[in-house]
Structure 1
């Protein structure tokens, strides 16, 4: 479908560094994986450094970004949200799908630290990110609770509680984690749990092979995080990590 209306051109002011090298394993919303840390790396522009003045007074911020690797060139008016298991279609503008008329996203993240004098440009350390590594940033804005939070808002078709699954590790996987993150500096184990308990598989895999069905048990999958290939399988309604490569 062709786009209509005025055309605008924007330049990224930086990018986000995150543990996620590809879309598999990325949390589907900000805040779902507290252990997912990232860094907003801004361009080495003195004006951008000045523009960050007083941001440290806020606890959270909005990231306005580009879905630069969503994998599709044309958007469709209806999509099947993974949250609904791919069983129901909704309008794309009634969803947060990256396949949009304009592939622009919005995420609220926590501010952990700001380094204005970092080599190569200012850095903003953030928590609970849901972005793939290298995501271009168009803008950032402070999160203001009285304006941005609506406690009695209706979440529509996304109002059902998000299911979470138990995650276990084989002795071999525990040994791999101890070898790769001996002092827990990366929070590697906690990060893997926060990703896997939400079932990071694509919607079609969830639909074809539900975690609860015995026919699914024994199936093996993987995802990349912090430059590790996490290997896991489904067993008796839960996820079992058996190796890190």
Structure 2
């Protein structure tokens, strides 16, 4: 085994995701069903025969690289958000991105396989993957063996989406126009993301603050009360002068 101390992995694809920044990504896959992504396969793996038979599976395991934290290195202990960001546990008792080998693993839903000329892609949903994530492998998810009913959740019990999310009338109108133009259900995505409370642990007991997030190509602002998040502002990231796709703050 002395000659197997290092391995080199080549990305098989790249993720194009609704999550263009780390803030707002749910802490686990499957929590936000409206979250979508495209996994574009890279040469020489963009060959249709590589996917033959995959279409009969509903879900996939996606192995990927935590590319945004590579430069930060690994940490022997971390503070999980589920423990309030104060108590430390070992890195191997966590799903932290700061790992000795920065490999992530997510279960995602396979919506379809699409091909346009030489571009071969998997359309995914229920994802927790950052835009630009390099993928190193995909495998079918098998519920009879991969779903262990009696497994323990440890210190990370299933989260409850306990925040009520409301929208101003202007924002509702924006979401309707955006969906008509792009086919993306921004209203549902925003509602599901915010209901999970994406704020860091030290801010989750605060209220009255304004926060911002970017989903797809839209900047979103909301303010907090103890039990409600109110979305009062949206505008395109790259077309801020287009008044037809801009809401005003109230």
TM-score (norm 2): 0.87
Which residue does 1:128 correspond to in 2?
Answer: 126
Is residue 2:230 matched to residue 1:232?
Answer: no
Q: Say if 1:44 and 1:122, in contact at 8 Å, map to a contact too.
A: no
Q: Say if 2:59 and 2:140, in contact at 8 Å, map to a contact too.
A: yes
Q: Give the alignment of 1:197-216 within 5 angstroms.
A: 197-206=195-204, 210=205, 216=206
Question: 4+ residue runs of structure 1 moved beyond 6 angstroms?
Answer: none
Is residue 2:146 matched to residue 1:148?
Answer: yes
- For residues 166 and 182 of structure 2, the distance between their equivalents in structure 1, rounded to whole angstroms, comes to 17
- In structure 2, the gaps of 5 or more residues are 236-250
Q: Say if 1:21 and 1:133, in contact at 8 Å, map to a contact too.
A: yes
Q: Find the residue that maps to 1:69 and give its secondary structure.
A: helix
Distance 1:164 1:173, change over 3 A: same
Which residue does 1:87 correspond to in 2?
Answer: 86
Distance 1:179 1:10, change over 3 A: same
Deviates more, 1:66-75 or 1:138-147: 66-75
Which residue does 2:171 correspond to in 1?
Answer: 173
- For residues 15 and 183 of structure 1, the distance between their equivalents in structure 2, rounded to whole angstroms, comes to 25
Distance 1:47 1:25, change over 3 A: closer
CA RMSD, Structure 1 to Structure 2 (Å): 1.9
Which residue does 2:232 correspond to in 1?
Answer: 242
| TM-fit CA distance, 1:223 | 0.4
| TM-fit CA distance, 1:14 | 0.8
Q: Find the residue that maps to 1:100 and give its secondary structure.
A: coil
- For residues 47 and 187 of structure 1, the distance between their equivalents in structure 2, rounded to whole angstroms, comes to 28
Q: Say if 1:110 and 1:126, in contact at 8 Å, map to a contact too.
A: yes
- In structure 1, the gaps of 5 or more residues are 211-215
1:221 to 211, 214, 230: 211
- For residues 95 and 15 of structure 1, the distance between their equivalents in structure 2, rounded to whole angstroms, comes to 25
- For residues 148 and 41 of structure 1, the distance between their equivalents in structure 2, rounded to whole angstroms, comes to 25
Q: Say if 2:64 and 2:103, in contact at 8 Å, map to a contact too.
A: yes
